[in-house]
Amino acid sequence: MYTVSIKSGKERVFLKHNPWVFTGAIESTSPAFEKAGIARVQSAQGRFIAYGWLDGQSHITLHLMSWKEDVIPDDAWLKERIKDAVMARAPLFNAKGTNCFRLVHGEADFIPGLAVDAYGSQLRILISSRYANDHLPIIVQALTELTRCKHCTVTVDAAFAPLEGLKRTVRHFDAEGRETTEEGGSISFCEDSIWYESDGGTSQKSGFYCDQRENRRIVGSYAKGRSVLDGCCYTGGFTLHCLRDGARSVHALDASESALRHLLYQVHLNEDRETIPEGSRARVTTECADIFTWMRTLEAGRFDMIILDPPKLAPTKAKLEKAMAAYKDLNRLAMQKIADGGILATFSCSGALSWEDFRRMTAWAAADAHAEVQILEQLSAGPDHPVRVSLPETEYLKGLVLRVSR
């Protein structure tokens, strides 16, 4: 076991259970780092702070995991944390009209870089840390035993693979937790009584954005009788809810042609199942384009409801300034182009962007657009995506429903 000493004056935040220790906070490591392993972390005066996982190849050098001196975060500890996370979601296993939700939410569930989503009888595991990658066999075994799933698909997060020095891979495991060459294949699942199909796990995130479940329902409730732009629509979660709730029309925009094709397939699927009104397909148009470029050519007043759900623009604080400028530019354009009195639902999934940053960006965009903007609702992920108060970055998803007047 390593012993890591924290620089004098730097220990306060870690005593308050912030789990991320970067190189600049470390005074010394004994013995010298060779390979990843458990470390006892102490203050400059030798006072115990926590146990953590030390890995000099990770962009977060040290992940703190246990603040109890008699509890070492070994394999048994990891299995217990996974069990706690799954049992906390037990009511969701019997939820009416929904069988997709998050089972493990990374550091918010005290496990670095591990996200697990359930889609009916299949699990999608997303890896964003070397720790989770190193412990994958234990993770898969614990999950298959607890959930009795039929298949696990494991994907390395494209946003973090280069930061962690991991290869972007897709691996598959059977119901017994054994690695296999057999893919899980596409799966049908239900969210809020709307049906979706997802591929074998090579798509964005874990295959579907289940963190937007509550927000799709809320945003859809504003769509009745409106012409809607679903920007960065992906495979159409917001589109389907807007159609169900009576949107006059929906224009679905995304940079992925395959995502748009899948969106139309899911519109047909739900119209056939009568979960959205008859004739919904005729009210949907699609366009493949980069939204940052496309918005500049948009005719003013064409839409009286705009949904902006762009990809993660600030995965780390180093990219925050550039991301703030991009978010502001996109929202400014939307506020300028939306019909007077229109509804703008705008989101950020960047953990490095705080709520204060997000609201400041919105205010700057409104000022530059010469618009009066009212906040109607403030949105975040559902209860299966808990927020850890000692790590604000776990509240990564932020959304505002705005009324825009000029």
Rounded-to-integer distance, Cα 46 and Cα 59, Å: 25
Beta bridge partners of 400: 346, 378
Flag whether pLDDT at 17 surpasses 70. Answer: yes
Average pLDDT over residues 111-139: 96
* pLDDT value of residue 200: 54
Q: Is the peptide bond before 31 cis (omega within 30 degrees of 0)?
A: yes
Q: Are 13 and 43 in contact (CB under 8 A)?
A: no
Flag whether pLDDT at 83 surpasses 70. Answer: yes
> CATH code for 2-66?
2.30.130.10
Per CATH, is 209-405 categorized as 3.20.20.80? no
pTM for the whole structure? 0.89
Q: Give the residue range(s) of CATH 3.40.50.150 domains in the chain.
A: 209-405
Rounded-to-integer distance, Cα 54 and Cα 41, Å: 10
| Beta carbons within 8 Å of 9's beta carbon, 6+ residues apart | none
Task: Look at 108-122, 164-178, 217-231, 314-328 and tell me which has the smallest mean pLDDT.
Answer: 314-328
Flag whether pLDDT at 204 surpasses 50. Answer: no
Average pLDDT over residues 5-28: 97
Token code pair at residue 340:
């007077």
Flag whether pLDDT at 206 surpasses 50. Answer: no
* pLDDT value of residue 320: 84
Please name the fold of domain 76-187.
Answer: Transcription Regulator spoIIAA (3.30.750)
User: Confidence class of residue 318 from pLDDT cuts 50, 70 and 90?
Assistant: confident
Alpha helices for 41-153 (secondary structure H): 75-88, 130-134, 136-147
Phi, psi (degrees; rounded to nearest 5) at 386:
-65, 160
Q: Give the residue range(s) of CATH 2.30.130.10 domains in the chain.
A: 2-66
Q: Give the residue range(s) of CATH 3.30.750.80 domains in the chain.
A: 76-187
Mean pLDDT value across the chain = 94
In the block, residue with structure tokens 């925050």: 320
Average pLDDT over residues 245-273: 96
* pLDDT value of residue 103: 97
